[in-house]
Amino acid sequence: MDKKRILVTGGAGFLGSHLCERLLHEGNEVYCLDNLFTGRKENIVHLLSNPYFEFIRHDVINPFLIEVDEIYNLACPASPIHYQYNPIKTIKTSVMGAINMLGLAKRVKAKILQASTSEVYGNPEVHPQPESYWGNVNPIGERSCYDEGKRAAETLFRDYNYQNNVEIKIVRIFNTYGPRMHPNDGRVVSNFINQALRGEDITVYGKGEQTRSFQYVDDLIEGFIRTMATPESFKGPVNLGNPDEFKIIELAEKVIEKTNSKSKIVFKPLPSDDPLMRKPDISLAKKELNWEPNVKLDKGLDKTIHYFEELIKNLK
Ligand code: NAD
Ligand code: UDP
């Protein structure tokens, strides 16, 4: 097999570290570029001794040159508390990061995949969401720096392909969870598990009637690899997510049960622009990638709970 040289931006983050691992496992040479804003060296420390792995501390808002065959562009904080911490930086990361990585792809003739998001659908009026839905996004709200940044990045990908023939792939990722999520990133799965394991109150926002569809990280990584391997004519966007839909309150109850926790559920105000429902239509991924998720929430939660149990044990 030919060894490919692959750049993963955001490679020290939750998803990026799993992707680097998989790409190395398949015999590739992997360059992991990250500014360590939300990523951590702990996520990749086990890869550092591999001679085909290299960590590069760099910020994607600045240009970067390297000879590679493929680029996965994941650099961007993903959890609401992290991307709202410095919203101007978030939109810069999405837009300038896309321009810099697309410029690199154009120069070295690399194929490039963009990690887009279900947030491009905003608070959707169509359910489940197919790729053909243009979304319902507030351009001036708390989530806009992320949502509009990702939408602009998709436009840039489309235009670099249209104008400069850069080979592109766009994946729209729905809520993904698993080991190496940041314990303090405020996302619902990591929050509930950590609260349950520590015996703290489980914070359900609103009445917990809003829905999400949770995808285990391994399924997503398989979807990434299959998307990158599609013929040049397939550009996406393609939804990657698990269509099994749960109310947030159901997730809270499930986590309490699985961890045998004495934690109580408390209700907190619903953040503004929090989508009421979200569920991917994955017909396109099934057809074009022959892909569908196969890790059920119960199994994925068990693995994630085990990860956080070990993390908490090691902190003591
Ligand atoms: P994460 O925060 O763990 O990873 C993001 C990584 O990007 C981190 O390592 C961070 O340090 C790095 N980064 C941030 N800004 C950077 C910059 N300016 N320059 C270089 N590196 C930078 O989040 P994640 O869940 O692994 O998400 C990865 C990608 O997938 C993001 O682009 C995110 O928008 C997208 N995504 C994730 C989900 C999900 O549910 N996890 C859903 C939709 C989309
Ligand atoms: N949520 C919650 N309690 C928490 C964290 C999140 O009830 O401690 C809710 C949040 O309001 C949202 C859902 O869980 O409706 C998913 O939130 P997350 O931040 O994980 O992802 P996103 O909103 O981006 O889908």
Probe target for ligand 2 pocket from 150, 181, 188, with the most ligand atoms within 8 Å of CB: 188
Per-residue pLDDT of 169-225, as tens digits, reads 999 999 999 999 998 889 999 999 999 999 999 999 999 999 999 999 999 999 999
CB 40 within 8 A of CB 80: no
- Indicate whether 200 belongs to any domain: no
Q: Write the residue with the smallest CA distance to atom 21 of ligand 2.
A: 187
DSSP helix, strand, coil percent of the chain (3-state; round to 5)? 40, 20, 40
Q: Hey, is 122 helix, strand or coil?
A: strand
Q: Please state the pTM of the whole predicted model.
A: 0.96
Mean pLDDT in residue range 139-146: 96
Closest ligand 2 atom, residue 175 Cα: 25
Nearest CA to ligand 1 atom 28: 74
Question: How many angstroms is it from 189 CA to the middle of ligand 2?
Answer: 8
Higher pLDDT, 296 or 314: 296
In this structure, is residue 66 part of a structural domain? yes
- For residue 87, tell me if it sits in a domain: yes
Residues of the chain above pLDDT 70, percent: 100
- pLDDT of amino acid 315: 77
* Whole-number Cα distances in Å, 17 to 47, 63, 284: 9, 22, 26
Q: Would residue 255 count as lying in a domain?
A: no
For tokens 């690399």, the residue is 110
User: Quick one: which atom of ligand 2 is closest to the CA of 118?
Assistant: 25
Residue 258 within any structural domain of the chain: no
Q: Is 126 within the bounds of a domain?
A: yes
Q: How far is the CA of 34 from the centre of ligand 1 (A)?
A: 9
**Residue-wise pLDDT tens digits, 218-254:** 999 999 999 999 999 999 999 999 999 999 999 999 9
Helix ranges (DSSP H) in the chain: 14-25, 80-83, 87-108, 144-164, 188-198, 217-228, 248-259, 283-289, 297-315
* Burial tier of 99 (Cβ tally within 10 Å: 0-12, 13-18, 19+): middle
Q: How far is the CA of 87 from the centre of ligand 1 (A)?
A: 14
Which residues does the annotation mark as catalytic?
146
Instruction: Using alpha carbons only, give the angle 143, 146, 150 rounded to the nearest 5 degrees.
Output: 135
Residues composing the chain: 316
CA angle 59, 60, 66 (to 5 degrees): 100
Residue nearest to atom 19 of ligand 2 (CA): 187
What 3-state DSSP class applies to 132?
A: coil
Domain span at residue 78? Answer: 5-181+215-241+279-294
Which residues lie closer than 8 Å to 306 by C-beta, 6 or more apart? 179
Domain assignment present for 253: no
Task: List, in sequence order, every residue forming a beta bridge with 9; answer none if it has no partner.
Answer: 33, 73
Into how many domains does the chain fold?
Answer: 1
CATH of the domain at 167: 3.40.50.720
Residue closest to 177 by CA, chosen among 131, 207, 213: 213
Residue 210 lies inside a defined structural domain of this protein: no
What is the rounded distance in angstroms from the CA atom of residue 59 to the CA atom of residue 262?
43
